[in-house]
Copies of this chain bind each other. A is one copy, B any other.
């Protein structure tokens, strides 16, 4: 059933039916009702290609899907994607994912030229990210999940990573910890860099700036790395008594390392991690329950999608920036350091 058939069936012109369905003003309420009902009844849906062609807009959001095996954020990405998909779907937008290996340039070029997407979503921004300039050049509206260094304004939603880790570190300091290590994600990415800043700020405020007993390491956020890093850090002398982990998965590894070294989480070593609220990684089920700075990454995806759609429909960039504060959830993995 297409528009022509539907309007013939109704004895109205295509124009009227189209306008009735799209909420234009100059359609009598009674007519509109009839049209909407009929459309509903026969299950009419406008052909997406035709609408795309006529309006020049695709009612779709684009996102590059990095399919390299080394994708650091694998589990985070899908949760983020779920959020994006959820609001996109809610607002009648499709979500077109395009695979990329290495650079995403080609994907964005294609989105722009074929008008496959009205706006694109950028995730996992690096501290210096070439993609921003590219997208600006292409004139393709985009929303960044996270932040990056650029002179131009850009739509983004982020969480206060710096504040979160500052607060987490300060908690440990207030409890009396003096040797606090950071197990971070890839510091080429902004979120990791920001967390490092937060950690450093708190240390500096406590007079521990660049203290060699407060070491750090970074890398892919896997359980395996969490284990390796924690083990390396805890085998130093003096060993840190506090561990800040950039993800729950890293914390899983850290827990394992701590146990393997014959130590106890909470008593010998306090652990705090950032929790993106992944459904299969539940920090409170650990023993002892893991203290976290918590911010559901899915919510981020939802907001990004919302921004992207608003951007595609004319909202100005400077109204589309948001940085959410992060909660600190205090649980049993944190305690005052043993008085030795």
Contact = CB atoms under 8 A, between A and B. Distances in A.
Nearest to A260: B287
A82 B53 contact: no
Given A78-B77, A82-B67, A99-B86, A48 B222 contact: no
Interface in A217-232: 222-224
Interface in A95-149: 95-101, 109-110, 113-116
Nearest to A65: B85
A325 interface: no
Number of copies: 2
Given A77-B78, A78-B77, A48 B114 contact: yes
A176 interface: no
Contacts of A49: 48-53, 56, 58, 115
A94 B43 CA distance: 26
Contacts of A45: 110, 113-114
Interface string A252-268: 00000000000000000
Nearest to A278: B74
Given A49-B49, A85-B99, A88-B99, A224 B282 contact: yes
Contacts of A69: 279
A95 B97 contact: yes
Contact of A48 (B82, B86, B116, B285): B116
Contacts of A279: 69-71, 74
A89 B99 contact: yes
A68 B100 CA distance: 26
A81 interface: yes
A35 interface: no
Contacts of A101: 86
Interface in A178-197: none
A290 B163 CA distance: 40
A20 to B, nearest CB: 19
Contacts of A96: 60, 94-97
A48 B97 contact: no
Contacts of A53: 47, 49-50, 52-53
Contacts of A56: 49
A221 to B, nearest CB: 8
Contacts of A43: 109, 113
A85 to B, nearest CB: 4
A303 to B, nearest CB: 15
Interface in A36-90: 43-53, 56, 58, 60, 65, 67, 69-71, 74-75, 77-79, 81-83, 85-86, 88-90
Interface of A: 43-53, 56, 58, 60, 65, 67, 69-71, 74-75, 77-79, 81-83, 85-86, 88-90, 94-101, 109-110, 113-116, 222-224, 249, 278-282, 285
14 contacts: A45-B110, A45-B113, A47-B53, A52-B53, A65-B81, A65-B82, A65-B85, A74-B78, A74-B79, A78-B78, A78-B81, A85-B97, A94-B116, A222-B280
Which 5 pairs show the lowest CB-CB distances between chains A and B?
A: A49-B52, A85-B99, A78-B78, A89-B99, A49-B53
